[in-house]
């Protein structure tokens, strides 16, 4: 088995690969794209960090390739779709840099409280200026942690040891998990209003982009201190610059930026109350050694026919089973993401009910696919088929599976129900109908609907009164949004009704606002499957 180590990883990781019987290891650091295409012609595995691009052309040139291992979390430099098409496993190492990033975050917190970098620069310039570098203490201050995953949880632990009060905003953090970690689970608005320090630890998704924007900063205390060692774009840089200049934000520490490398003329570089580092989150000897060894072990396992760990593109099942379960995996993932998008915050339990033929199968992979769909917009690329149960556990979420023998009215039926701490329930049902067994959504929140399980959906709950279809259609038409499909449902005339509209393009903000403002509409959710 030939392993190409295309980027420099820990020597211990390389040594581990060389120790495997029958392995040939080729180290080719800094190779050009052309050289990579030449080297991969007879390799079975590739190990990379972030420098080498593993493109569709690379996969096409590597007929023996079985696995690509990324020593790190993000796989932006790997064409995962091309890998999947070629049957190549792509793996990452999501846990190796947790402590390194948490410690860097806390370093920024301390530098935001005590301007050590600025004072050090002053001393090196020959000055002795004590008055200009007065700071504040962390003790008895309130830290707001936005996103309490692995890294956010480690930051919270360190803050508690400094005598800080810790607030946490995470829509999918169960109250029991917050209590166990000795933090207070609050809404984002509460966190913004009460915190003296705020640090963000969420993936960059459509929901988290510019989560901390001008409006959010306006809700913060005057003199708040803000930190981001997660992903650039969660904090809106233009809004942050303005708040730093006005003094509303007293200090900030950033390790990540909307565009990297940070532009030389960025106004962030000119502000005295900002500490900037060039994306050093995982840049410790320990973290690099950890991910290097981890990726080497994972590659060896795959090539030796062992377990597949931290795969980002395939479920851990054999080919025959995967072919059988394939349609259920796809439908399950869509049901999971649909329920996540219509459910309120504070979900504690995801209840999955299988009825019909699927109830007779080993549906573990389908369950994981549903969980993955539910977390896809929450946890980002670090969650995959292998680690999604652990991600659920980390968030304090329970996954309950029921296999029902009762007559569901369909050959197959999967129901996904999200239960919040206050008992609020949100649900969706899916099955296969028509020629070719096409996946369909046949129930939302207990209402019978029927719409294709694909694309973009508007889910509306409204008072059952004349003209509602026309009113919604007119708003969408004015926004040049074409309706592809529609399903209507009601329990009784004059009560409430459901309207599920599948559209070709996403409605604009103005159209969405107009729909939500309609006096007869009680609920309006835009869902992307």
Beta-bridge partner residues of 353 = 402, 415
Return the structure tokens found at 159: 């803050």
The full DSSP string for 439-478 is EEEEEETTEEEEEESSSEEEEEEEE--TTHHHHHHHHHHH
Distance, in Å, from the CA atom of 17 to the CA atom of 36, rounded to the nearest integer, reads: 20
Distance (Å, whole) CA 119 – CA 464: 66
Site of tokens 């060692």: 229
d(CA 414, CA 411): 10
Beta bridge partners of 458: 501, 526
Active site residue 279: yes
Tell whether the torsion through CA atoms of 494, 496, 502 and 507 is positive or negative. positive
Active site (annotated) includes residue 351: no
- Dig out the tokens for 479 from the structure: 């926004």
Task: Respond yes or no on whether the N-terminal peptide bond of residue 261 is cis (omega within 30° of 0).
Answer: yes
How does DSSP classify residue 78? B
Q: How far apart are CA 105 and CA 212, in angstroms?
A: 17
38, 260, 360, 400: which one is catalytic? Answer: 260
Q: Tokens 């930051």 sit at which residue? A: 155
Q: Is 461 a catalytic residue?
A: no
If we measure between CA atoms, which residue out of 44, 1, 40 comes closest to residue 19? 1
Q: Is 478 left (phi over 0), alpha (psi -120 to 50) or beta?
A: alpha
Q: Take residue 446 and report the two structure tokens written for it.
A: 């207990």
Whether 365 and 382 have beta carbons less than 8 Å apart is answered as no
Please identify which of the residues 70, 231, 394, 502 carries the catalytic annotation.
231
Cα 351 from chain centroid (whole Å): 21
How far apart are alpha carbons 294 and 451 in whole angstroms? 44
11/18 Cα distance (integer angstroms): 10
How far is it, in rounded angstroms, from Cα 209 to Cα 232? 9
Please tell me which residue in 279, 351, 490, 512 is annotated as part of the active site.
Answer: 279
Assign 150 to helix, strand or coil: helix
> Residue 439: which residues within 8 A CB-CB, separation 6 or more?
327, 330, 331, 334, 430, 431, 432, 452, 453, 454
DSSP class per residue in 362-417: --HHHHHHHHHHHHHHHHGGG--TTTHHHHHHHTT-EEEEEEE-S--SSSEEEEEE
Residues belonging to the active site: 231, 260, 279
């Amino acid at each position: 088995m030939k392993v190409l180590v295309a980027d420099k990883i820990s020597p211990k990781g390389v040594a581990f690969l060389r120790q495997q019987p029958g392995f040939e290891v080729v180290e080719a650091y800094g190779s050009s794209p052309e050289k990579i295409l030449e080297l991969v012609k007879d390799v079975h595995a590739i190990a990379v960090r972030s420098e080498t691009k593993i493109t569709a052309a690379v996969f096409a040139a590597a007929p023996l390739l079985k696995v690509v291992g990324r020593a790190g979390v993000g796989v932006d430099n790997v064409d995962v779709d091309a890998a999947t098409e070629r049957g190549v496993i792509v793996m990452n190492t999501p846990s190796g840099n947790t402590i390194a990033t948490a410690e860097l975050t806390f370093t920024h917190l301390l530098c935001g409280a005590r301007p050590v970098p600025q004072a050090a620069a002053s001393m090196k310039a020959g000055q002795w200026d004590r008055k200009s570098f007065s700071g504040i203490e962390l003790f008895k201050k309130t830290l707001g942690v936005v996103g309490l995953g692995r890294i956010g949880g480690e930051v919270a632990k360190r803050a508690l040891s400094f005598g800080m009060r810790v607030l946490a905003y995470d829509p999918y953090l169960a109250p029991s998990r917050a209590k166990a970690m000795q933090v207070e689970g609050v809404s984002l608005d509460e966190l913004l209003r009460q915190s003296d320090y705020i640090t963000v630890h969420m993936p960059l998704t459509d929901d988290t982009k510019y989560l901390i924007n001008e409006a959010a900063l306006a809700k913060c205390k005057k003199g708040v201190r803000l930190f981001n060692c997660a992903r650039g774009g969660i904090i809106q840089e233009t809004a942050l610059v303005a708040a730093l200049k006005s003094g509303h934000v007293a200090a900030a520490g950033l390790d990540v930026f909307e565009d990297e490398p940070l532009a030389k003329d960025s106004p962030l570089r000119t502000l005295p109350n900002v500490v900037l580092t060039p994306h050093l989150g995982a840049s410790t000897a320990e973290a690099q050694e950890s991910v290097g060894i981890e990726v080497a072990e994972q590659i060896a396992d795959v090539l030796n026919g062992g377990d597949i760990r931290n795969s980002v593109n395939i479920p851990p099942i054999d080919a025959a089973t995967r072919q059988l379960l394939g349609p259920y995996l796809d439908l399950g993932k869509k049901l999971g993401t649909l329920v996540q998008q219509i459910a309120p915050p504070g979900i504690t339990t995801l209840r999955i009910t299988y009825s019909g033929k699927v109830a007779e199968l080993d549906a573990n992979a389908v369950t994981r696919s549903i969980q993955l769909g539910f977390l896809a917009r929450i946890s980002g690329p670090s969650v995959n088929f292998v680690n999604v149960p652990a991600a659920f556990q980390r968030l304090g979420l329970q996954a309950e599976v029921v296999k029902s023998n009762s007559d569901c009215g369909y050959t197959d039926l999967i129901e996904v129900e999200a239960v919040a701490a206050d008992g609020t329930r949100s649900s969706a049902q899916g099955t296969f109908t028509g020629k070719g067994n096409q996946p369909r959504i046949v129930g939302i929140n207990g209402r019978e609907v029927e719409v294709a399980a694909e694309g973009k959906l508007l889910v509306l709950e409204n008072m059952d009164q004349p003209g509602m279809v026309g009113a919604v259609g007119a708003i969408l038409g004015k926004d040049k949004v074409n309706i592809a499909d529609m399903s209507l449902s009601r329990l009784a005339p004059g009560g409430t009704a459901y309207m599920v509209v599948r559209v070709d393009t996403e409605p604009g903000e103005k159209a969405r606002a107009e729909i939500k403002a309609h006096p007869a509409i009680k609920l309006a959710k835009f869902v992307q499957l």
